[in-house]
Amino acid sequence: MSEKKITIDVVSDVVCPWCFLGRKRLENALAMLPDVEAEIRWRPFQLDPTLPPQGKDRQAYMREKFGNSSKIDDIHKQLTELGEENGIVFDFEAITRAPNTLDAHRLIHWAAQAAPDTQNKLVGTLFSLYFEQGQDIGDHEVLVDAAASVGMDAAVVARLLESDADKATIREEIDTANRIGVRGVPCFIIDQKYAVMGAQNADVLADAIRQTAEGFEPGISEDR
C-alpha cells in the first residue's frame, strides 16, 4: 500500500493525565501503521481557565474539585496502573502546584513554528515534567528550560512569555474547540473530518486512523 498522509489535531491540556495517556496511545497506534504518515498538531484546551496565573496548591485544589481524599486516591491509583501499562510513571505525590496552563499553551503554539516534530516533543516533555517529575509548568523558568531542551531559542521564548503575545489566539482556539463540540480531552480530530473522544486504546485509535487514511468513515467512540 502506498503511504497515506493525514493530519491529527489533538485537543489537549497539559495538566490532563488522560491526555498524557492519550499521547502515548497515539504513539503506539501510529507504530502499528507504518504506511501512514501523520502530522500531529496539538491544539489548546484549558480544564480550568479560572486558575490564577501563579496557580494553586494542588492538594487544596484537588480537595476543592473532588472532595474527600479517598476519591482522589482512587483516581490516582487507576491512573498509576494505566500509566504503567503505557510506559508512564505518574508521581502524583511530587506535584505541588495546579498551574494555569495558558502560558504552556502559548509555548506549544510557538513550537509549531519551529522544526518539524518540535511541538510534539515539547508536549511530551511538558507532560513528563508535570506528571513524572512534579515540576510547575506554569513557571516561566520551567517553560524556558523545556523549550531549550527541544531546540527552541530560550532567550526568545523568555521574552515572549513576559509579553501578552498570542494569549488572545489561544483563547480563541479554545473557544473554537468548545463551539465544534469538544466536551472533554483528549480529542483526536483525524484529517479534519472525524473525532475520537477520550484516551482510547491504541488499537481503537489505529483503526480510526487507518479507516480515515483509506477513505472510510470510522466509528466515533467516546469511552476512555
CATH number, position 161: 3.40.30.10
| Structural domain total, the chain | 1
Confidence category of residue 220, pLDDT binned at 50, 70, 90: low
Three-state secondary-structure class, residue 82 = helix
Does residue 55 fall inside a structural domain? Answer: no
Phi (first) and psi of residue 37, to 5 degrees? -100, 115
Does residue 57 fall inside a structural domain? Answer: no
Q: What digits encode the pLDDT tens for the residues 155-211?
A: 999 999 999 999 999 999 999 999 999 989 999 999 999 999 999 999 999 999 999
Confidence category of residue 2, pLDDT binned at 50, 70, 90: low
Q: Identify the residue whose cell numbers are 491544539.
A: 43
Does residue 67 fall inside a structural domain? Answer: no
Rounded CA-CA distance 54/138 in Å is: 7
Does residue 69 fall inside a structural domain? Answer: no
How wide is the angle at C-alpha 55 spanned by C-alphas 13 and 58, nearest 5°?
A: 85
Average pLDDT, the chain: 95
Does residue 80 fall inside a structural domain? Answer: no
Confidence category of residue 215, pLDDT binned at 50, 70, 90: confident
The predicted structure's pLDDT at residue 1: 46
Side chain identity, residue 112: A
C-alpha grid cell, residue 171: 483563547
Q: Identify the residue whose cell numbers are 472510510.
A: 216
Q: What digits encode the pLDDT tens for the residues 117-135?
A: 999 999 999 999 999 999 9
Domain carrying residue 123: 4-49+100-213
Q: What average pLDDT does the segment 136-149 reach? A: 99
Does residue 11 fall inside a structural domain? Answer: yes
The predicted structure's pLDDT at residue 124: 99
Does residue 74 fall inside a structural domain? Answer: no
Rounded CA-CA distance 202/213 in Å is: 16
Does residue 81 fall inside a structural domain? Answer: no
CA atoms within 13 A on the CB side of 24: 16
The predicted structure's pLDDT at residue 185: 98
